[in-house]
Structure formats: C-alpha cells, structure tokens
Structure 1
C-alpha cells in the first residue's frame, strides 16, 4: 500500500494493469473497484478519484487497450518484407486474444453503461477494431506490392476476415475455455496460404 498522502505516478496505467490481472484470474464477475485497487496495492477510493464510476473505468480500460493494440497494428506495414506474412499477422492480431481479452469483452458486454461509452468514443474516432483492420489492409497491400501476397487478393477483404474472426473469437471465448488463438492462427494460415 502507498502511504497516505503520497502521490502515485501512473495511476491509470497501474489500475488498468491490475484490472487485467483480476480479469485473467477471476473473469468478468470478479472485477470490482475493490478487487482492482487491492490488486494494484492502493487505497480503495483511488479508482473513484480518477474515474466517474466503475462503468467509466471499464470503458476507459477497453479504450486504452484498443489504443495500444491499434498502435501496435499501425507498426505492421513497416514489417512488410520481413519474416513471413503469417508470422507478422499472428504477432499483431493474436494480441487481441491474450489472457484478459475475452474477459474484458465479456465485462464490457454486461455493463451497458460502459458499452455505451465505448461505442460513443469509437463513433467519435477513438481507435478500435476499424483502426486495426485498416492497418492490416495497408500491411497486406504492402506485401502484395512485394509479391508476398497474391496480386489478385482483395487485401481489404482479407483484413476484414482476419480482424472479423478475431472479433468473433474475442466475443465468444471465455476464461478457462479453449484457447481461441489456435483457431485464429489456423484462419490466418489458411488466408495467407502459409507461404507468405
């Protein structure tokens, strides 16, 4: 615990990281403000000092996570010509399905207040799946110019298929269930013909 009256740096990130650990361990039902602050090792009221309520915290957590994933995907086009197309796509898109991903999606679904805030932020331009899809399409087009993706391939459709599959698996997976990443890897390998 931090001593009373001592400022904590990086509070939002610390709370977000703690929430992801709680979600990975206990699922969506285990996420409470008390569980998050306990996991973060800080005062119980700290979460409510930085967020309007738990719905605001959940919405900001989801938006933060998608911003980081979109930033990661934005770096993908620069990898054109390196490694293989399959490996590059796996390294980027599989991050959507890491340990806290399905639990976080479930949490956002069961908290209508959080879902509405997330939708509003995405409508207003916050990075989400659309940004990831656009980066994947740009990457595939770059690989197409290098001859590592078929010249007849519709790169926008392939990007939609990859990101759409990731979204489907994110929304239908559950903590402790089968690993959805294996299914996504299979789809990516099938779409890229394993030779890119």
Structure 2
C-alpha cells in the first residue's frame, strides 16, 4: 500500500472517507481516517503483531488517547482497516444475487475477480500475524459474528444458483463448488503476487495482467476444461 496520496486498489486518498465522497475530513473524522491509514501502512510493512496502538498513533500523528476515542482496541482497528481500506469484496459479492438476470454472467464474475485479487493481496500482510496468534484470531472471529470470510463464496454461490434457476448457468454444476473454485483462484493469484513481490519468474503469473487473468479464469470456469464428448 502506498504511504500517502491514493491507496493502491481503492482510488482513495488520505483524509477521504468512502461515504463522504471527496469532501475533506476534519476533527475526529480526520483523526479516525489517519489512524486507519497509519494502521494499514504499518500492518503491511511490519506486520500485525508489531503494529501496536502506540506505533499506530505515532504513525498517525496523534496520541494513544486520541486513538482510543475512536477504537476500542487493536482488533477493532484491524477489522475497520479490512472493511474500509481494502477493496470492497464483501459488498461486491453481496449485491450479486439481486442482479441475477441482468447483464452477462461472465461480466459479473470477471468484476468479482478484479476486486477479489487486490483484496486478498492487501489482506495477506494483515492476516499473516492474525493467523499466527490463536488468541488474536479467536478475538477477531468473535468480532465478525456471521460476517466471516465464508460469506464471499456463499454470496457468489447464491448468485450462481439464481442464474441457474433462470437457465443462464448450466443445471448440472454445483454452485457452491463453482464459487469456491473462483474464489480459490483469486486467492492463489494474490498469494503469488505477494510472495514474489514484483520479482515473479515469467511462468509464475499467467496471464500476466489482472484483466486477462479475470477473463481467462472465468472462461475456464464457465466453459469447463473437458473436451466435447470426452
């Protein structure tokens, strides 16, 4: 993630809020935004465990007391960073079932891929420290309630089921399995990008571009890999 200006993959700059358009933030809203920006930077560089509230406050240019006026603890900051500073994957898939029958199935799925890969790419540095700490992971799960990561494939499967009822997706496929295949492909692609950090060998990322990857992956999912009559 960038340290200032626009955040990678979101098109938003420091001091802006998703719900406020491009209106500059002031007062407590500005402090809150700076804390989230600082947390996102630190988690992405030094990791979740080392990104203490003290370090986050220092990076944000505020006191720890000011930080705690907006967030209960570091776990809440982590949750808000994922929800407000990463590409909005949950929103993108949650609205899909209601759009069944509109546009082309292929285009909807490609749009999901183009949001999912950047989301997972930005989430990996944050999730690494979380997964390494059973206590922190358990606390994080409790804060999520029913909004866990399974919702991504669940909403996507609901969309495919709805399109299946309309005859726009093959009747013989399992929507849940198809959803997991698509999400898993995005997850693996993001992992490779984070692992190689811009130094991937030529054969590691195929297709090279995100748009091309989305097109090829969705095509493979919808068209299948079995030869006709095989």
Which TM-score applies when normalising by structure 1? 0.68
Per-residue deviation, residues 58-86 of structure 1 (Å, max 9, x unmatched):
24423566895323311101222223212
Q: Equivalent residue for 2:217?
A: 187
CA 1:148–1:30: 2 relative to 1, 3 Å: same
Per-residue deviation, residues 138-186 of structure 1 (Å, max 9, x unmatched):
1111211222211111111101211233334444541843678454553
* Structure having the larger proportion of residues in helix: 1
In structure 2, distance between residues paired with 1:34 and 1:95: 32
Which TM-score applies when normalising by structure 2? 0.60
CA 1:134–1:101: 2 relative to 1, 3 Å: closer
RMSD, matched Cα: 3.8
Deviation at 1:107, TM superposition (A): 2.0
3-state DSSP of counterpart to 2:125: helix
3-state DSSP of counterpart to 2:101: coil
CA 1:173–1:60: 2 relative to 1, 3 Å: same
In structure 2, distance between residues paired with 1:183 and 1:67: 18
In structure 1, distance between residues paired with 2:117 and 2:100: 23
Per-residue deviation, residues 103-158 of structure 1 (Å, max 9, x unmatched):
43222212425433323334x32x13211211111111121122221111111110
**Count, aligned residues:** 183
1:80 aligns with 2:106: no
In structure 2, distance between residues paired with 1:167 and 1:121: 23
Q: Which runs of 5+ in 2 are unaligned?
A: 1-14, 16-25, 199-204, 225-230
Larger radius of gyration between Structure 1 and Structure 2: 2
CA 1:135–1:86: 2 relative to 1, 3 Å: same
Q: Equivalent residue for 1:29?
A: 46
Higher relative contact order (CA 8 A, sep 6+): 1
Q: Equivalent residue for 2:169?
A: 149
CA 1:86–1:189: 2 relative to 1, 3 Å: same
Q: Equivalent residue for 1:47?
A: 67
